[in-house]
Every structure is written in C-alpha cells, then in structure tokens.
Amino acid sequence: MTLLNAEVWDRKFYSDGWQDSAHDYPVIEPATGNALGTVGLATPKDVNHAAARAAEAQRSWAAASPQQRAAVLRRAGELFTAHAAEIEDWLVREAGSTRAKAAAETQLAVGECFECATLPTHPQGEVLTSEEARWSLARRRPAGVVSVIAPFNFPLVLGLRSVAPALALGNAVLLKPDPRTAVSGGVVIARIFEEAGLPAGVLHLLPGDGSVGQAVVEAPEVRVISFTGSTPVGRAIGEQAGRLLKRAHLELGGNNALVVLPGADVRKAASAGAFGSYMHQGQICMTTGRHIVHESLVEEYTAVLAAKAKALPVGDPAREEVALGPIIDRRQLERVHGIVTASVTAGATLAAGGEMDGAGYRATVLTGLTTDMPAWREEIFGPVAPVIGFSTLEEAARIVNDCEYGLSVGILGDVGTAMKLADRIDSGKVHINEQTVNDEPNAPFGGVKASGTGSRFGGAAANIEAFTETQWVTVRPDIADYPF
C-alpha cells in the first residue's frame, strides 16, 4: 500500500476526511525548484468549522478506554515503520534532508508513537491528604482541543511530538504545518493516524498562511496551543494566548554554545562541533551556533574544524551522496549569506566556506569575531560555525550566558570541570561530551529565556503537564452538615 498517494491528498486538507480546498500551494523541492505536488490550504472559516467538529469528537475520544487510545498510538508507530522508506523520500525531497537525517527523523517518529502509547495508562493524578473526613484527589483530565503549529526544519517529528501525546491523553488536535513542508509535516501524520484507526474528527490537518495560524490560536474551542518556531512569532502567539486566557507552550529559537575545555581531544571535539553546526545545514533550533574554545586549543581546533568544513559536499540529497542539502528557500539562503558577509565586513575572518553553492551553502567557519557581530549574536539557521576563545571557566560561563537564548549547551572535555561549568549556565539542556543537537522521545525538551517556556515535550511528566488540566475531586461518605 502507498501511504502518500497524491490522489488522496492533492489540493485537499484533512478535516472529517479529505476535503477539497478553495486555495492550494505548490510543494517545491528546494534542491531543484521542481514541483512535487500541490497541497490544499485551509481558510479561517475552515478552521472554525474544524474546531467545532474537534470539540464534538473529543468528548467521545476522551471517553474511549485507555487501551483503545494506546492501541491507536502503537498502530501509528507500526505504520511509520512499515512506510519508513516512502516517508524518508518525502523528507529528502520536500525538506531538503540528507538520507541520514531523514532516517533519523522517521525513527524518532516511531519512538514518539510508542512512547506516547504508554501515556493513556500512566498514573493520571494523586491522592491528597485532607483535614476533612473525605477522600481528596487531584486528577488529570484532557485539555480538550489542542492546536499544534509546526515548522519546516524537522517537519515530521516537530509536529508529531505534540500531536501524539495530545491524542494519547484524550485531546482532539488542529495541526497547522509550515506550508513549505505540508506533506512530510502534515499529510504524513494525517494519513498515518487515518490508517491507524483514529476516529473521524479527532485530528484535523489545516495548512495555511498567517490568518490560518491566527485562527487556530483564537478558535474558542482551543484550550492549548503548542508552537515550535521562531522567537518573534512565538512572542506574538504568547501574547494572543495570554489575552485569550489560553495556555501556550512555546519552543523557540536558540543560539547554542559548544564549550571546548582545556585538555580536550581536539580532533574529537572538532568532529562533534562540525556535526553540531552542519547537521541538516544548521537548520535546527539546537544547532551549535557558537564555538567557545579554550585559548590553548582554539588555533588547532579552528584549523581542524575548517578542514572538515571544506571536505563536506553540498548538493541534492535525492540524487547524490552529500553531507549538506539545500537551504529551505532562497530567502533563507540569502539571509544566511547576509549574516556571514556582514560579520566579515565587521572584521571576522573566513576560515572556510562563506559561499552559496546552488541552492545550498558551503559549511562555514568564522574566526576573529567579537561578541557584538551578527554571526555571534543572531540565530543564523544555516551551516555557520563562529569560533571564539576563552581563558577561564568564569569567562566561559559569562560568554555562554551572554545570549538572549537558552536552549542547548554542549561541553567537551574533563567531566568534573564540565559539571562545574554546567552549574553556572542558563540552559534548558546540557550535554557533557556531546554536541548540542540531541533529542529522545522520553527526555524533556525545552529552553529558557528567549528559547521558550520550558520543557513541554518529551517524557510522561512533561506531556501530561502540557496536554491535560488538573481537577480537584473530593468524596464524602454522607452529605456534610452546613451552618445554613
């Protein structure tokens, strides 16, 4: 069976089945500019209809037995496994992923479904003490309708990591993927759960522009918004949600630091640094955006990193073996190049790269930076590795923390020294003797400061907190006596 037969989804969105759309959007292969198909776009009116239908369907889905909901999630995981090759091909062609990245993303999706299949039978509350002669309970109930807004870079897993736990815990979901990756980040998820036996009306796929994004936030039936994307858009959604008294879980940008301690193995450190900066062309919120290297190693580290960068081929991952695929679109490609050239103009030195290569960008190493240069201060979202030196642990901690973001930090070298540094830095994640790009379905994921509102993904505790409400319940053996 072909999961993604275009006859099913071409020019359609998913809401109580596949619906013809009034507007559509071309699916473009970023490496070539070729059209791969056409997705249907929803309108704000479609969103309002979907939200009402989702609220209706959610009641029955929440009332389904935990075993029934778990079975759908397990079946979804099995379907991701069965259709892995087809899904990976779409991730390569639509999202510009290398084969290795596409395979890793698909396996994360499998793990996400199996991990979330345990949520329906996980403890859903606690027994409280009470001064009264009664039982006192705090139980978790489904939030209701959840809106999920997902980005283009890891379109499958960054949508699924909210969709799967929300569904497992008895919610209905409105999913708005980035239109640029609406197949791998939307159609795939809708088709998997359709085939897995999810009841009609519980999941709605609503690709669209900013007006659709606003509608999935403002629909009265929506109680929780789960957004992954840029910090400026996240701020706007958070403001909207606050005004509407809705919860917003925001996983935003990052300018993540990799600290190389004195005595570290330089070749291994540079290998970790290259992976952290160049994996998926640097288009990852966890990408290593700042290399902070002890002064005793910085010259050698930069030389080894530059040699690795120069050896990494750039091209079309659907047709050749490459390490770096295309940047998602021309606008982002020009933005990356603009940040690099502005930093060079300001005095930075190119040790490698700094050039467009067709639809891609050469792996780049920058040295001679000051901390006020754009390549150091900004989230680039491209394959750029700025390197700066430090002398003391206190200076390293200060440089790491001198950033508006706080998502992920890697520390390479002596573990004891790394532990002391970890205690001094502000970050949602710290990885000792690993680079900054790490994710597992059972691990909490989230950042601090401008990187978002904390860990709201990964693991039972974070997922239950994110997608349920707490209800206090008391029970007495008889009606109490009151003084009125």
Smallest CA-to-CA distance from 12 within 45, 44, 48, 37 is with: 37
Gap between the Cα atoms of 378 and 341, Å rounded? 13
- At the fourth CATH level, the homologous superfamily of domain 256-432 is Aldehyde Dehydrogenase; Chain A, domain 2 (3.40.309.10)
For 256-308, how does the pLDDT look when each residue is reduced to its tens digit (9 = 90+)?
999 999 999 999 999 999 999 999 999 999 999 999 999 999 999 999 999 99
Gap between the Cα atoms of 267 and 265, Å rounded? 6
- Select the more confidently predicted residue: 116 or 457: 116
Gap between the Cα atoms of 208 and 227, Å rounded? 15
**Catalytic-role residue among 94, 194, 218, 251:** 251
Gap between the Cα atoms of 448 and 78, Å rounded? 34
For 94-130, how does the pLDDT look when each residue is reduced to its tens digit (9 = 90+)?
999 999 999 999 999 999 999 999 999 999 999 999 9
For 200-250, how does the pLDDT look when each residue is reduced to its tens digit (9 = 90+)?
999 999 999 999 999 999 999 999 999 999 999 999 999 999 999 999 999
What are the boundaries of each domain within the chain?
Answer: 6-252+452-473, 256-432
CA atoms within 13 A on the CB side of 457: 29
Which backbone phi and psi does 407 adopt, to 5 degrees? -100, -65
- 210-218 and 231-243 helices cross at what angle (nearest 10)? 40
Q: Are strands 125-128 and 135-142 parallel, antiparallel or unpaired?
A: antiparallel
- Answer yes or no: 113 catalytic: no
CB atoms within 10 A of CB 278: 26
Gap between the Cα atoms of 465 and 122, Å rounded? 13
- Answer yes or no: 251 catalytic: yes
Residues 6+ apart with CB under 8 A from 130: 136, 474
**Catalytic-role residue among 112, 115, 218, 285:** 285
CATH for the 6-252+452-473 domain, from 3.40.605.10, 3.10.620.30, 3.90.1150.10, 2.40.30.10: 3.40.605.10
For 358-393, how does the pLDDT look when each residue is reduced to its tens digit (9 = 90+)?
999 999 999 999 999 999 999 999 999 999 999 999
Q: Any idea what DSSP says for residue 452?
A: B
DSSP code per residue over 297-312: THHHHHHHHHHHHHT-
